[in-house]
Amino acid sequence: MSVFEYTAGSRKFTRTRKSLKKFSFTTTDATGITNNFEKAKDCVLVIKPLNEHAFLRPEYLVVKLSDITSATALTIRIATDSDGDNTFFPDTQATISTGLTTTDSGVVAYSLQLPYVDTASAATSFFLFAKTDASDDVNITSADLYCTVETF
């Protein structure tokens, strides 16, 4: 057990460090995304446990798409379970920004800025669900979540 000794003119503080980290979702099942949320087509992100106590703050999400035909927007939901029932980032729609010369690929970005701390498990998992505004399907080629990580 640590013992603290206080002397005149000195204090001991716990140091904190903040850093921005990129976490990438696994997107192998995220093909053929249409205008309905489908559990089988989710993207999964497992954030490995850190050796220190940490506070995670998801800041923004960037999703890259391919095989776009008629979709102009993508709606996402992020949950902590594979059924999409424990939602911590609700349904949010963003306009797909396609290339200037190639319109069959594009990107969407979301500003999350939600505090999230998981103290119940050793590793935190996030599940990303998506749907388009059209019945024609698109594929998610990458989904990157940028978080501020504060360790203390």
Q: What is the pLDDT of residue 8?
A: 55
**Among residues of the chain, what percentage have pLDDT more than 90?**
55
Provide the 8-state DSSP code for 35. S
Q: Residue 29 and residue 49: Cα distance in Å, rounded? A: 24
pLDDT at 63 > cutoff 80? yes
* Cα 124 from Cα 58, distance rounded (Å): 13
Q: Write out pLDDT tens, residues 13-42.
A: 455 667 888 889 999 889 999 999 999 999
**What's the CA gap between 29 and 149, in Å, rounded?**
28
Does the pLDDT at position 48 exceed 80? no
Q: Give yes or no for residue 50 having a pLDDT over 90.
A: no
**pLDDT given for residue 14 in this prediction:** 54
What is the dihedral angle through the alpha carbons of 139, 91, 63, 59, rounded to the nearest 10 degrees? -160
pTM to 2 decimals?
0.82
Q: Take residue 35 and report the two structure tokens written for it.
A: 């205008």
Closest by CA position to 34, among listed 65, 61, 62, 78: 65
**Contacts with 65 (C-beta within 8 Å, 6 or more apart), sequence order:** 71, 74, 96, 105, 106, 107, 108, 138, 139, 140, 141
- Alpha carbon distance 46, 54 (integer Å): 15
Of all residues in the chain, the percent with pLDDT exceeding 70 is: 78
- The tens digit of pLDDT for each residue in 82-119 reads 999 999 899 999 999 998 998 999 999 999 988 776 55
- Indicate the average pLDDT of the chain: 84
Cβ-contact 54, 149 below 8 angstroms: yes
